[in-house]
Each structure stands twice: as C-alpha cells, then as structure tokens.
Structure 1
Amino acid sequence: MNAPVITVDGPSGSGKGTVSRLVAERLGWHWLDSGAMYRLVALAALRRDMDLDDVDALRGLAAGLDARFQADDAGDPVILLDGAPVGAELRTEQAGNAASRVAAHQSVRDALLERQRGFRQPPGLVADGRDMGTVVFTEAPLKVFLTASCEERARRRYKQLKEQGLSANLLALSEELAERDRRDAERSVAPLKPADDAVVLDSTHMGIESVLEEVLRLARERGLTD
C-alpha cells in the first residue's frame, strides 16, 4: 500500500482515460480505469434486463461480478465480462448512461471499492474516474481534475464514435453529456467534484500531448518521477 498513486478525475469526454493510460505507460505504472468497472456492472445488468434502481440486485451483481482485465499479445488492454471480451459494447452511450445510474447507489460503490484499491501495487498506479481523489485514494500525492466544455466533450465523443463506424448525433450527445454531468454532480453519493487539493486542468483548448506533459510535470514536481 506504499505504492504512489496519481488520480485523474473528471466528467465524461474530458480525456481522462486517454491521459491516464498514457501517463501510466510513460511512468511504467499500473492503470485503473474505474469507470470500466461501473460500466461492466451496468452492462451485466442490461444483459440481464435488471431494473437499474433495484439496489439490492445491483449490489449482489457488483459483489459477484465476473470481470477481468488482461492484455492481448500486442499488450493492448482486453476486458472480459463473464469470460468473454466486451469490446466496443462497453463504450456505448447506453452503457455509459446506465453506468451513471448504477454508480449513484452507495451499496454498489461499496462493493467495488476494495477491488479498485487492490490495483494499488508497485511501482505505482494511475487511477482515472470520478471519485478517485475524493473517495478511493484520498491520500494520493497528485490529484488531477480534468475538465473541458460540454460542447468540446460532445465533439470529441462524436468524432470517436464516427471513427468506430457508429452513428451519432452531435446535439443529442451534447444533451446527454449535460444530463450526465448534472446527475453525477448532484448525486448524494460521491458527487463529481474536484478534491480540495486537486489540480484542475481545463483541456478545452489543449491537445492530449499537452495535457500529458502537464501531468508528468506535476508528477516530477511532487517527486514521483525523475
């Protein structure tokens, strides 16, 4: 538990997942995509036609979730649910919106908390999500809150979906992101907000490389890397 942690929190589409993965690669650290865990619970619930407001059923599902994070022969991450790769299905808007609803239940968060903390291993961990710095790793020496305008985040998501060959509507995406932001910020359980000691980075007018270099600079400043 002495392994250092860098947390990168922020709203959907802020680039936190890409930045976190790249920081972990540059440092040779482990990477935790905590949002994937909530998406996995949500996806499993959707596949079972479960009520996303049935707290008891969702808690049991989260506690016994058959989910694994592996790497393929090329070293790329592979996520398995019930023994099978989930692929792009995990990143659909349906899964994302369902994950936001599932994550609002305290009992679900409690069921996943120790699993998330278990990713903290030497030489270090980069953890991205919505409450990594405020709840899961409150003692992290570097906490980053990455944000961007709703319009810019919708544009990024639209481009990503188009590149994947999926249909998308920019206005609908912007409205969905705004609704998800509101739900995540107003929920009583672990609301989306920067930790008191977090560094807030607005990536609206920044490229991924610029954000990456700024996070690495902050890591060096805190003595986490050479």
Structure 2
Amino acid sequence: MSFSIAIDGPAGAGKSTIAKTLARKLGYIYVDTGAMYRAMALYIIRENIKPEESDKISIASKNANITIEYHKGEQIVILNGENVNPFIRSEEVGNMASVSSANKEVRLKLVELQRQLAAKADVIMDGRDIGTYVLPEADIKIYLTANSSVRAKRRYEELTQKGIQCNIEEIEQDIIERDKRDSNREFAPLKQARDAVLVDSSNMTADEVIDTIINLVKSE
C-alpha cells in the first residue's frame, strides 16, 4: 500500500524545498504540483492568452500534455514533449499559474495525473489544495506557512543568487496578492485542511521543519 504526505501552504513558504528534502530522506517520490501548474501557465503564455481570458485558458488546457519523468532522481516536467524545467520559474509564469490554476478545466486535468501518481507509489506532494482536494485521504497533511515579509525575503535571496534583479517590496506585494487570489478562488481554494498539522516556519530553519515532519511520519 502506498503512503502519501500532503504539504499545503501559500506562495514562498518553502514547500518545494522541504518536500524535495523529505523525499530524499524518506525515499519517496516528490511530485511538484506547482511545477505542473507552471508548465500549464507557460503553455498559456506561449499561446499569447491573457490572464483575464478564462474561456481561452479552458480551451487551451485541453491541448497541453504535461507529464513528470525522473532522471537520476531529478524531476523533469515535460510539456508537449519538451523539458520545460529551465522556463517555469520566472515571476511571469508564477503569476499566470496563480490565475490559471483557479480555472476548473486546468485543475481537473492536472489533478487526475497527480492522483494516479499517488496511487502507484509513496509520494510527497506539495501545493495549495493537496490535503483538501487532490489527496483528501493523505496519510499525513501539513499546512506550511510563514509571514509575508519572511517569504518575500526568501524569494528575494533566491532570485538575487541567480543574478536576477528584483525589488523586495514588489515581491512581497505579489505574494500578498497571490495569497488573496489563491484563498478566494471559487474552485479548490487555498486553506488548511481540518486534519492538517500547522507548521509556521517564520522562525524555523529548514532542518527544524524537516525534523518536525519526519517525527510525524515516524509516529504513524
């Protein structure tokens, strides 16, 4: 029987970093749902569709074939046969992903693939609605968060280390607006599942967060 860990939380809370490390330590498969939504967003951008054109997003989503492959332990996101890992981490793609992920057709298409993966193997999945919608029967559910200023600082440091010029105030404003969109969308909004453990990482190191979750797994 497969075992699943669901990690939800707002943008910039460190979900992906924590999930990847946990997957390595526990020997699970890491399913980066955010990367899948970003791949869909990249496709929509490449089709020259604007964020407000919801009908066009619905139609376009049906033509985007998004899969996950693993090479030497690294997750590769494939969009219509192309490895799009190098193109899906920009702010433009992130903002489009926040908008397009609220589209019901987009979510239904990707959720089906995510559930298939979880049914076949031990997985760690992170996103906005994993514990509430994608994997409501997950064995362990975590709601990982941090205050907006901490999340903006982390994102700023990540981008500047890559040589990308950015403004920390603008990043925080983007995070606040994204939180609002994600929490208020009609279909599968961002919220803490009733049976999820709240982990606020504002004053925690990554190792402390990881140890907390590993202890929860061991107690099962």
TM-based fold match above 0.5: yes
CA RMSD of aligned residues (A): 1.6
**Paired residue for 2:206?**
208
AA in 2 matched with 1:136: V
1:10 aligns with 2:13: no
For residues 69 and 110 of structure 1, the distance between their equivalents in structure 2, rounded to whole angstroms, comes to: 17
For residues 104 and 184 of structure 1, the distance between their equivalents in structure 2, rounded to whole angstroms, comes to: 8
Give 5+ residue unaligned stretches, structure 1: none
Residue of structure 2 aligned with 1:112, choices 99, 110, 113 = 110
For residues 128 and 22 of structure 1, the distance between their equivalents in structure 2, rounded to whole angstroms, comes to: 12
SS state at 2:118 partner: coil
**Paired residue for 2:25?**
26
CA contact (8 A) 2:148 2:172 kept: yes
Shift of 1:82: 3.0
1:70-100 Cα offsets, whole Å, 9 max, x none, are 334x533332323333234211111111001
Shift of 1:35: 1.0
Shift of 1:177: 0.3
For residues 76 and 58 of structure 1, the distance between their equivalents in structure 2, rounded to whole angstroms, comes to: 29
For residues 59 and 27 of structure 1, the distance between their equivalents in structure 2, rounded to whole angstroms, comes to: 37
AA in 2 matched with 1:54: E
For residues 199 and 4 of structure 1, the distance between their equivalents in structure 2, rounded to whole angstroms, comes to: 17
Identity %: 35
Give 5+ residue unaligned stretches, structure 2: none
**Paired residue for 2:182?**
184
Aligned pairs, number: 220
Q: Judge which range, 24-33 or 118-127, deviates more.
A: 118-127
**Paired residue for 1:133?**
131
Shift of 1:151: 0.2
1:47-90 Cα offsets, whole Å, 9 max, x none, are 11013333343234333323332334x53333232333323421
SS state at 1:119 partner: helix
SS state at 2:124 partner: strand
**Paired residue for 1:173?**
171
Off by >6 Å, runs of 4+ in structure 1? none
CA contact (8 A) 1:30 1:119 kept: no
Shift of 1:42: 0.8
Shift of 1:122: 4.8
| TM-score normalised to structure 1 length | 0.91
Shift of 1:178: 0.5
| TM-score normalised to structure 2 length | 0.94
